[in-house]
Amino acid sequence: MPELPDLQAFSKNLTKELKGKKLEKLEVLVKQKTQVSEKELSENLDGKTLKKVYRLGKELFFDFGADALVSMHLMLHGKLVMQMKEDELPKYALVNFIFKDGTQLILTDFQKIAKIDLNPELSDTMDALSEKLTAEWLSEKLKKSKAAIKSVLTDQKVIGGIGNAYVDEILWDAKIHPKSIAAKIPQKQIKMLAKSINEVLKDAEKKILKSNPDIISGEIRDFMVVHNSKKKTSPTGGEILIDKVGSRKTYYTNEQVLFN
């Protein structure tokens, strides 16, 4: 599943390629993948100019102006393909943004679970890259929780955008064991954790764009320092261990402190 840094990179490249283009129509190829009718989509979107594409949480948002905001969740295996109108549609196409200059942006998913919506109610969940995600805010969220810190950080109702792979990277960077009880983590480590959330996610986006400057789909993971099946040790020499937290496969080292 694409995580926050991937989606950040996608949104920047989609904006670069599609900003200012007029939408001819949004074609729904698998009807159950939208929360609204094609008629409503047509009435709100046809002929509108794309202003930008941005990410919030784990979703992409296509801003066509007032009352014309399309949200997209790629789920586990959704992919985006950009091509010209005369090209044959790729396999597993669900939705097709057809622009008047002949450009097409197609959402595909062999599982058919990726989805779009029109003018959704926006979540008030704290985004992982929000400036409001401070050590003080995080401390308030953690102090009453008996759950493992990994479970808390990947709960999209607590913080939007952090997934299984990057939470391992964040916790290693902050030197906090993934099974630490959230409420037991001291303030000093929470301060480090807030810093790590911001820095790890932003650094990953830079690395993705450096290695794949035009990326709009897929996942780049080869630079990860602990959540990486090809590596045996961390950059500081700790043996990479594998366990489960809840149902999530988890990579960590004994360099990380367990607070319980």
Phi, psi of 249 (to 5 degrees): -65, 130
**How far lies 202's CA from each of 32, 47, 95, 123, 217, in Å?**
35, 35, 30, 22, 18
- Give the CATH number of domain 4-118: 3.20.190.10
Q: Which tokens in the block code for residue 85?
A: 């109108």
Using alpha carbons only, give the angle 155, 161, 167 rounded to the nearest 5 degrees: 70
Q: What is the pLDDT of residue 202?
A: 98
Identical fold between 4-118 and 126-252: no
Which class does domain 126-252 fall in? mainly alpha
Q: What is the pLDDT of residue 33?
A: 64
- Say if CB 170 and CB 153 are below 8 A apart: yes
The H-or-E segment that residue 95 falls in is strand 93-99
Cα-Cα-Cα-Cα dihedral sign, residues 91, 93, 99, 105: negative
- Say if CB 70 and CB 105 are below 8 A apart: no
Domains of the chain, by residue range, sit at 4-118, 126-252
Q: Each residue's pLDDT tens digit in the chain (260 positions)?
A: 899 999 999 999 999 999 999 999 999 998 776 778 888 999 999 999 999 999 999 999 999 999 999 999 999 999 999 999 889 999 999 999 999 999 999 999 999 999 999 999 988 999 999 999 999 999 999 998 999 999 999 999 999 999 999 999 999 999 999 999 999 999 999 999 999 999 999 999 999 999 999 999 999 999 999 999 999 999 999 999 999 999 999 999 999 999 99
Q: Rounded CA gap, 236 and 254, in Å?
A: 11
Q: Which tokens in the block code for residue 52?
A: 């930008």
Q: What is the pLDDT of residue 38?
A: 85
Q: What is the pLDDT of residue 171?
A: 98
Q: What is the pLDDT of residue 1?
A: 83
